[in-house]
Amino acid sequence: MTIGKIRSLLYWTAKILGDISAVQRGKVKERLARRLAGKITGRLLGRVFKRGL
């Protein structure tokens, strides 16, 4: 198993554990909002750096 696959597995596990924690604490809406904001921000930054500053 490569380092990249181990890293992906760890990130995936952390995401699942975060989802479980959010359900237990009743913070699902906040978690979904943050994940959506992170995806949008990541895509925007990706476009900015792809074109160049």
What's the chain's average pLDDT? 94
Structure tokens at 17: 């554990």
Q: Which of 11, 36, 31 is nearest to 20 (CA)?
A: 31
CA–CA separation, 53 vs 5, rounded Å? 32
Tens digit of each residue's pLDDT (9 = 90 or more) over 2-45: 999 999 999 999 999 999 999 999 999 999 999 999 999 999 99
Domain extent listing, the chain: 3-51
pTM above 0.75, yes or no: no
